[in-house]
Chain A
């Protein structure tokens, strides 16, 4: 069935390095994508979003890239810090679904000091 999935369930990086978290989606009709960060025992926290009419969007230390040709989404975190350790989820809004989001399986990012 349709889903949003992640290539890597776990990612370990050294503090200060850049992190790249990937996500694949299957529905070409999806028009809005969001990355969330979830720390242990907490609710997801909005990081950054991107619409399907864009290829790239930058925030503070984060960049989201969207490749509609291969239905791929990535989150890049620059100069990763220990506080970035969390599970990261991508989510897609398929449109005409009442605003429902479909979540990927999540990637656990571990930052080594």
Chain B
């Protein structure tokens, strides 16, 4: 199988606080993970590519200082939304890919609500 988990599944926080979301590949090692954001009734927007042991690659328009990504092991990547604001409220989804693989397997998503 190719199981990817995320934690937490949902989070509510106050404006100005930071939130950390974890993405884990449970039954395979993932040298590359991806972070997406999805607004209601819209498609997935790639935010960044997370590579184990190196810096993440961010898509154009995504602030790397606001969305901190750490990929410290072959099974874990974290996304930290720093100083969250209401406009950061969204559905954040990660995916993982096996080494030398092309298919991305997605986590269940994390719904973030910033008050």
Q: B57 at the A/B interface (Cβ < 8 Å)?
A: yes
> Do residues B106 and A99 form an inter-chain contact, with CB atoms below 8 A?
no
CB within 8 A of A45: which of B32, B106, B111? B106
Q: A43-B107, A43-B109, A98-B32 are in contact. Are A103 and B44 (CB under 8 A)?
A: yes
> For chain A residues 76-102, which have a beta carbon within 8 Å of chain B?
89, 93, 98-101
Q: B8 at the A/B interface (Cβ < 8 Å)?
A: no
> Do residues A99 and B43 form an inter-chain contact, with CB atoms below 8 A?
no
Range of interface residues on chain A?
20 to 34
Q: Chain B interface secondary structure, helix, strand, loop or mixed?
A: strand
Tell me the complex Cα distance, A91–B48, Å. Answer: 16
Q: A43-B107, A44-B93, A103-B44 are in contact. Are A98 and B102 (CB under 8 A)?
A: no
Tell me the complex Cα distance, A100–B97, Å. Answer: 10
Q: Which residues of A contact B42 (CB under 8 A)?
A: 105-106
> Do residues B43 and A105 form an inter-chain contact, with CB atoms below 8 A?
yes
> Do residues B43 and A89 form an inter-chain contact, with CB atoms below 8 A?
yes
Q: Which residues of B contact A43 (CB under 8 A)?
A: 4, 6, 93, 95, 106-109
B-to-A contact residues, CB < 8 Å: 2, 4, 6, 32, 34, 42-44, 46, 49, 57, 93, 95, 97, 102-109, 111
Q: 5 closest pairs, A vs B, by CB?
A: A43-B106, A44-B106, A43-B109, A103-B43, A43-B108
A-to-B contact residues, CB < 8 Å: 32, 34, 36, 41-46, 49, 89, 93, 98-101, 103-106
